[in-house]
Amino acid sequence: MSATSDERIEAALGQDATAREARDGMATYIVPRAAAHDALSRLKGAGFESVTLVTAIDRMPREPRFEVYWQLLSLQHKLRVRVVAEVPEDDAHVASVVDLWPGAGYGERECFDMFGIEFDGGSNQRLLMPDGYDHFPLRKDFPHQGIEPDRLYREWERERRSEAGKS
Amino acid sequence: MGSLTPVGSADSQAGFFATQADALINWGRKNSLWPMPLGLSCCGIELMAMIGPKFDIARFGAEAARFSPRQCDVLIVAGTLTWKMAEACRTIYDQMPDPKWVIAMGVCSSSGGMYDSYAVTQGVDMILPVDVYVPGCPPRPDAVIDALMKLQKKIERESPTGRLAQGVLEGGDEGTGAFSMPPNQAVTTHRIGTYVAPGDMTPGDGSEDQSS
């Protein structure tokens, strides 16, 4: 695997992308949030037939707060590429890529579940945390013991007891 | 049963018939403790070893692990109970017929263990009354067999006829909202839900971490 970039990637990304330091033998490009879907679509056309990871990083004190990552794999070119888009907290959404790679849905759901970043066109459902949970556990301002972690259980129990009382 | 006058639960106040009936009932109960195995993580593997031929809890009459709560006497919570699983665990407990007992197997189900986390109950005693706690991560099958024997000793001291005479149904807190046995007070449940405001944290300014 080449640690440096490839002209096929450069050509597909065009003017939108800025190169970042390559890590883990993977060329990294930062793209504007609005252009992310188009850039990824062009990369798919350039031979990146699968997306291996969709995730985010919370760089809390910094603005914009979130970085959403896509890692793509091209088996035919033996290449990987990492694409980054910065997402601010007060407007945390980015275009979904499930129309390009249906397998990206899991990563996007986990990303929504853990960081509260919405994916336009994605399902935006909870994946690991229960439905009705209010918080996003991987945000850096989330306390590790949680905020009322037993709330949903207590609500369920209260409802169950009131139903048992009726019958 | 005509001579059976209402008695207290203490054996010293009970009559000859009540104590002898208690002994017989308790003997039957303690030697046929059918477990409900709720294997939630690695403790489940040790639980399987315990039921298997090498450790063989058939020696204690507890080999009949039933996967229907309706046929079980002792719920063995083996492993990490998350809040998402807590509803299922409580439902299983409620579906078990009285009399019923609970063994919290391993540190996770005893106190949350190393998972001091938003997703994990800090001990199953937050949702269930527990009879025996077994430390260990996971505990050896011997330790759980010891817990089973301690539970048998506990059952020996119970007075089912006394409870019957008092008109008290066996067991639980079903529908009352109160535990028949108080939850473990050693668990510092008050920590749950304390919220640290973002301003109270002291994160770095992000300058040292510009990697990607």
Q: Chain B residues with CB inside 8 Å of A145's CB?
A: 116-118, 191-194
Q: Do B90 and A149 touch (CB under 8 A)?
A: no
Q: What is the pLDDT of residue A117?
A: 92
- Give residues with Cβ within 8 angstroms of B49, minimum separation 6: B55, B141
Please state, in angstroms and as integers, the Cα–Cα distance from residue A27 to each residue in A3, A53, A79, A94, A153, following that order: 7, 15, 9, 22, 45
Kindly state whether residue A161 falls inside one of the protein's structural domains: no
CATH of B34-156, one of 3.40.1440.60, 3.40.50.300, 1.10.3720.10, 3.40.50.12280: 3.40.50.12280
Whole-prediction pTM: 0.75
ipTM metric? 0.78
Residue with tokens 């986390």, as numbered in its chain? B117
Domain enclosing residue A76, as ranges? 7-142
Q: Chain B residues with CB inside 8 Å of A157's CB?
A: 90, 127
Read off the CATH number of the domain in which A103 is found.
3.30.460.80
Taking one residue from A and the other from B, the number of pairs with CB-CB distance under 8 angstroms is: 84
pLDDT at residue A55 is higher than 90: yes
Banded pLDDT at A119 (limits 50, 70, 90) = very high
Kindly state whether residue A164 falls inside one of the protein's structural domains: no
Please state, in angstroms and as integers, the Cα–Cα distance from residue A39 to each residue in A10, A100, B183, following that order: 11, 11, 57
Q: What is the pLDDT of residue B166?
A: 65
3-state secondary structure of B133: strand
Instruction: Tell me which amino acid residue A122 is.
Output: G
Alpha helices in chain B (DSSP H): 16-30, 43-51, 83-95, 106-111, 141-156, 160-165
User: Residues, chain A, total?
Assistant: 167
Chain B interface with A: residues with Cβ < 8 Å:
83-84, 86-87, 90, 116-119, 121, 126-127, 174-175, 177, 191-196, 198, 201, 203-206, 209, 211-212
Domain count along chain A = 1
**Which residue in B84, B117, B212 is closest to A23 by CB distance?**
B212
Beta strand B74-78 with B101-105 is parallel
Kindly state whether residue A147 falls inside one of the protein's structural domains: no
Alpha helices in B3-59 (DSSP H): 16-30, 43-51
* Residue A151 burial class via C-beta count within 10 angstroms: exposed 0-12, middle 13-18, buried 19 and up: middle
Q: Chain A residues with CB inside 8 Å of B195's CB?
A: 143, 147
Kindly state whether residue A25 falls inside one of the protein's structural domains: yes
Please state, in angstroms and as integers, the Cα–Cα distance from residue B125 to each residue in A21, B21, B90, B98, B145, following that order: 51, 31, 11, 18, 20
Task: Determine which of A121-125, B106-110, B196-200 has the lowest per-residue pLDDT on average.
Answer: B196-200
Kindly state whether residue A101 falls inside one of the protein's structural domains: yes
Kindly state whether residue A135 falls inside one of the protein's structural domains: yes
Summarize pLDDT for B148-164 with one digit per residue, the tens. 999 998 888 887 777 66
Chosen for mutation from B84, B92, B114, B118 (greatest number of chain A CBs closer than 10 Å) is: B118
Other residues' Cβ atoms within 10 Å of the Cβ of residue B134: 25
Q: Chain A residues with CB inside 8 Å of B116's CB?
A: 144-145
Q: Chain B residues with CB inside 8 Å of A135's CB?
A: 118
Banded pLDDT at B205 (limits 50, 70, 90) = very low
Q: Do B194 and A145 touch (CB under 8 A)?
A: yes
Sign for the pseudo-dihedral over CA of A150, A156, A161, A162:
positive
Domain coordinates in residue numbering, chain B: 34-156
Kindly state whether residue A154 falls inside one of the protein's structural domains: no
**Which residue in A82, A148, A153 is closest to B193 by CB distance?**
A148
Q: What is the pLDDT of residue B140?
A: 92
Q: Chain B residues with CB inside 8 Å of A137's CB?
A: 118-119
**Mean pLDDT (whole number) for A52-78:** 91
